[in-house]
Chain A
């Protein structure tokens, strides 16, 4: 029976990427703390990727993880010291694997980039005599292994493999094991069919075959034995070593592999065996080649393909259980109410009210826990940062500690997906511009190591993310001069320093004296700000010269719910996002003046705030007589304020945001719609869009006049 394995691919990729993330994190932990448990975790992750990829015939991935695993195994057994070089190598392997898996996921061919790393691994592994001191110097290693490769020592094993006849039922497939053996070296297989009964007596589910294998490999007996790890108890296994021999690989060996494999009559294996041998061949041809950093390519591929995958969510079982409990409650309440309705008397009205109250509570809880399903801990985003900080601080020649606080703080998946890039950018900025070089730090009397702290916590309906560095801080004077130079402000104007600092988030603003590889091109901060604003959030900067800078990102927990202020204009009810409201003032107590193009404005302290009357702006049909009643709500979006003229402030409530665009067009000035308690639709105002509209109209009027 042929099973279509491709249906499991998505799961395999998802799990593998998770595994890679785990490996990356643990590798970084390993640097600080060489705990054996960490190595075990990494090993397990690598092992499941290997197993999975072999099952799905991703031979190259399996081959690659196999060599990784061998090295990890040595680390686990304490045979190999954990050095920074090894961690570097393993991190690069993680990148490389991620690239390979990305390509496979897209159905592309895997490039041969990984061969280089495999070679390097093999060199490292074959050099069994390498002592810890030698490992420390990568140059020495390159030289050493180069010379030792000339007369490579191969172990020759003779293996008798006679599985119990139920071996196939345990899900172990001899062909796969042979495949793996052939990846260790050259393999000859002889099949013993003597125990196979006559066809009439043959039970097709049992295995009557045993094998005699000859293996020439650079690995030791342990590595060979490991291939049989899962079947050890279900077979008769004898591995005898013929000792070491110096063998020059040549064509005859290659043929041997093919011949041997042919006997088990599987053309596919033949291919893989020959293929993996040829990579082994490469090793011999270019033994001197040193490890070159893997090209950036895989990462780019990863970014480009994101859109093609269908989004899925992994939900903790406890959340699902809560949901089931709640639905159960709901059903009980419903049946209770149903019974009540069947023979209702006025005397039962108390019971009815209680039941309805319970129903309301249940419904609200149900809504909350459904929302919670979309919530994931922000650790998913934070976790990719330590690696970046590590690489970047090495590149910049700075010493930086990254502290992460509150990685369990949960937020909506959609928000999280979109906050990743801005966050990365801000951390990069903190590393590049924030934290000073070691010399400068010492000169300023600070410790050599800079600190960057990421903090996440909930505050009201928002999640707050702080990125804090203890670097030089931002000098408002420099920003001021730069802004004058760029013609963004006029010289001599007095501006409060917070406002000056926030100018670094204007488009085209970069104060780094040297544009570095890392940041400083002047694109970025404005993009960060725009992205966060698009999510309905905001960024604040506070900076103390000489002590450091803190970026505070404030984001709504979810994009689906909004704290809204209901307002009435003529007969229409609109929702204004509560976060954007600055204040509301009765129309009678403000002074309305008219400026350019007959635009009514409200003068508040030193600023003129344009007044937008929703009835006029939206062309609402109304029979309102006087225009002096009602009030204005001062709202702010993207640092622009407008005063919205409304007739009445109604209640405040959380509203579920619905899209207008699913069946209609998007409208400027309206960000979406919601359904009120009475079932009617109410539109949610888009403050930024509204203020843009009013500004545009004024300029149009001006043009007409001119």
Chain B
């Protein structure tokens, strides 16, 4: 009787150990979400993704730069939407069925802020160790170098990691008539 119980317990602890090993394996490096913008692939750390929504027309913000599409209602909070295709100066910015808005979190000063980013479609979620992230070549990409953090190779194609601290930085968004209201 006791031997049976002992066996069961042993088995369970082995299972647990195996599970832990699996988790540890998964845990190496970080998880990333990759998405498609104008045929190129970009990625962000998955921890900065709040949610993904289908494309809907946001409310226009006055005098906004072309890449700020407006604001939308995210369950009661007002969240701005930026079109990454415009931001990266891609020629085409079509709104199709696959077009989605990725709501990204970022710290701006002390506050956590949200920004919706329009992309052509979500591609994949993958693991990548920090050491496998290479530097962005200084040539080639038409994307502003402040917005890129590194390049990774995922199943034989290159994925550009985005630097959210600059991309979503409100100070780098050149919006006329801002910040002067309540003086």
**Given A617-B62, A693-B177, A673-B182 contact (CB < 8 Å):** no
Mask, B4-19, CB within 8 Å of A = 1, is 0000000000000000
Judge whether A658 is part of the interface by a CB distance below 8 angstroms: yes
Q: Do residues A675 and B61 form an inter-chain contact, with CB atoms below 8 A? A: no
Least distance between B66 CB and chain A CB atoms (Å): 10
What chain B residues lie within 8 Å of A22 (beta carbons)?
Answer: none
The listed residue with most B CB atoms (<10 A of its CB), out of A619, A664, A668, is A664
Judge whether A572 is part of the interface by a CB distance below 8 angstroms: yes
Q: Do residues B63 and A618 form an inter-chain contact, with CB atoms below 8 A? A: yes
Q: Do residues B113 and A663 form an inter-chain contact, with CB atoms below 8 A? A: yes
Q: Do residues B179 and A658 form an inter-chain contact, with CB atoms below 8 A? A: no
Judge whether B78 is part of the interface by a CB distance below 8 angstroms: yes
What chain A residues lie within 8 Å of B175 (beta carbons)?
Answer: 665, 667
Interface size grouping (class) on chain B: 20 to 34
Q: Do residues B177 and A660 form an inter-chain contact, with CB atoms below 8 A? A: no
Least distance between B19 CB and chain A CB atoms (Å): 39
**Given A658-B78, A681-B58, A681-B71, A667-B114 contact (CB < 8 Å):** no
What chain B residues lie within 8 Å of A675 (beta carbons)?
Answer: 73, 76
- Among the 9-residue stretches A159-167, A353-361, A545-553, A682-690, the one with 4 or more Cβ atoms under 8 Å from chain B is A682-690
Q: Do residues B71 and A668 form an inter-chain contact, with CB atoms below 8 A? A: no
Count residues of chain A with CB under 8 A from any CB of chain B: 29
Kindly state the separation between the CA atoms of A664 and B170 in the bound complex, as whole angstroms: 7
Judge whether B131 is part of the interface by a CB distance below 8 angstroms: no
By secondary structure, the A interface counts as: loop
**Given A668-B177, A680-B73, A662-B61 contact (CB < 8 Å):** no
Kindly state the separation between the CA atoms of A617 and B114 in the bound complex, as whole angstroms: 27
Mask, B59-74, CB within 8 Å of A = 1, is 1111100000011110
Judge whether B121 is part of the interface by a CB distance below 8 angstroms: no
Q: Which of A662, A664, A671 contacts B181 (CB 8 A)?
A: A671
Q: Do residues A667 and B59 form an inter-chain contact, with CB atoms below 8 A? A: no
Within 8 A of B (CB), among A638-658: 658
Mask, B93-105, CB within 8 Å of A = 1, is 0000000000000
Kindly state the separation between the CA atoms of A247 and B77 in the bound complex, as whole angstroms: 74
Q: Do residues A664 and B59 form an inter-chain contact, with CB atoms below 8 A? A: no
Q: Look across to chain A and name the residue whose beta carbon is closest to the beta carbon of B116.
A: A663
Kindly state the separation between the CA atoms of A686 and B181 in the bound complex, as whole angstroms: 9
What chain B residues lie within 8 Å of A659 (beta carbons)?
Answer: 78
**Given A663-B79, A673-B78, A681-B58, A668-B181 contact (CB < 8 Å):** yes
What chain B residues lie within 8 Å of A621 (beta carbons)?
Answer: 60
Least distance between A502 CB and chain B CB atoms (Å): 24
Judge whether A666 is part of the interface by a CB distance below 8 angstroms: yes
Q: Do residues B181 and A658 form an inter-chain contact, with CB atoms below 8 A? A: no
Kindly state the separation between the CA atoms of A66 and B77 in the bound complex, as whole angstroms: 52
Judge whether B155 is part of the interface by a CB distance below 8 angstroms: no
What chain A residues lie within 8 Å of B80 (beta carbons)?
Answer: 663-664
Judge whether A294 is part of the interface by a CB distance below 8 angstroms: no
Mask, B158-183, CB within 8 Å of A = 1, is 00000000000010010101111110
What chain A residues lie within 8 Å of B111 (beta carbons)?
Answer: 662
What chain B residues lie within 8 Å of A620 (beta carbons)?
Answer: 60, 62
Q: Do residues B62 and A666 form an inter-chain contact, with CB atoms below 8 A? A: no
Least distance between B83 CB and chain A CB atoms (Å): 14
Judge whether B115 is part of the interface by a CB distance below 8 angstroms: yes
What chain A residues lie within 8 Å of B179 (beta carbons)?
Answer: 665-666
Q: Do residues A667 and B181 form an inter-chain contact, with CB atoms below 8 A? A: yes
Judge whether A669 is part of the interface by a CB distance below 8 angstroms: yes
Kindly state the separation between the CA atoms of A129 and B1 in the bound complex, as whole angstroms: 92
Kindly state the separation between the CA atoms of A236 and B63 in the bound complex, as whole angstroms: 83
Mask, A553-593, CB within 8 Å of B = 1, is 00000000000000000001000000000000000000000
Least distance between A164 CB and chain B CB atoms (Å): 56
Least distance between B50 CB and chain A CB atoms (Å): 11
Within 8 A of A (CB), among B26-77: 58-63, 70-73, 76-77
Judge whether A107 is part of the interface by a CB distance below 8 angstroms: no
Q: Do residues A681 and B78 form an inter-chain contact, with CB atoms below 8 A? A: yes
Least distance between B143 CB and chain A CB atoms (Å): 23
Enumerate 10 A-B pairs (CB-CB under 8 Å) in ascending A order. Answer: A620-B60, A658-B76, A660-B71, A662-B111, A664-B61, A666-B181, A668-B181, A673-B71, A675-B76, A683-B59
Query: Which A residues contact B (CB, under 8 angstroms)?
Result: 572, 617-621, 658-660, 662-671, 673, 675, 679-683, 686, 689, 693
